[in-house]
Amino acid sequence: MALLDVLLPVYNEQERLASGVERSVAYLDGLIPKDYHVVIVDNHSQDATPAIARDLAGRYEGVESIHVDRKGVGVAFRAGVAASSSPLIGYMDVDLSTDLRHLDEVLEIFSAHPEVDLVNGSRWNPDSVVVGRTPLRNLTSHGLTFVLRHALGMRATDAICGFKFFRRPALDMLMRQANPEEDGWFYIIELLLRAERDGLGIAELPVHWEDDQRTTVKVAHQTLAYLTQIRALRTRFKQEGIL
């Protein structure tokens, strides 16, 4: 059993997958050699991503490849967690927009602070550095944060930065509570919101984050989906008596 499992959810990432995995492996080999797994979770990609993932898993001892037949980060995350036995589990974006050096800080926080159950990377913490973010994406991200705070009482400064790490017992508890039918990004947001509601130990980590202009995220479609999901989660929180 490794100390840390890093999940990389991917969909049609043939251009970025090999570079992201190779850089992650090189960094982790220097940080915690032979004590990690990088788990590529392919979300039913339609390009060469599955073949590249299998090749990487064959070439690197610390790399595993999983394929799921449905698209969605939530689906990928649940599949990766189900295949993991490590005490620390998290996920990153394969484009490595968040600087890999923050992995050091994640491990230091968990080691020095046993009360911390979740390390949440934030681009909007006052100490964060964000490079190359477009005005439109800044506007939508800050707008989402505003809505999450006012509709669901979120305390974190950033809910959707692709850099979150959990202790396994806390993650198992949160996943038992979260909506198992939510397949997309909002599943990860719900885990954070429930961690806050449950009073878990959360460390917000300011990050150095550099936008990848090749993103495949459709901003308008994603924003509308988030607003719909926020309304549904607000209803569930009220039904559960935690709002």
**Domains assigned to the chain:** 1-96 (3.90.550.10), 97-243 (no CATH)
Tokens of 129: 């550095």
**What pLDDT score was predicted for residue 215?**
60
| Model pLDDT, residue 99 | 97
User: Is residue 16 over pLDDT 90?
Assistant: yes
pLDDT tens sequence across 60-73: 999 999 999 999 99
| DSSP states of 135-172 | HHHHHHHHHHHHHHHHHH---SS-S--SEEEEEHHHHH
Each residue of 180-198: pLDDT tens digit? 999 999 999 999 999 999 9
| Mean pLDDT to the nearest integer, 147-167 | 96
Share of the chain above pLDDT 70, in %: 97
CA pseudo-torsion sign 82, 105, 112, 161:
negative
32 has pLDDT over 70: yes
- Strands of the chain (E only): list them: 4-10, 36-43, 63-68, 88-92, 118-122, 129-131, 163-167, 202-206, 208-210
* Mean per-residue pLDDT, 220-224: 76
Nearest to 98 by CA among 207, 216, 213: 207
pLDDT at 109 over 70: yes
pTM: 0.94
Place of tokens 């599949």: 79
Give pLDDT, residue 59. 98
Q: Name the nearest CA neighbour of 62 among 21, 99, 104.
A: 21
What token pair was written down for 194? 């429930």
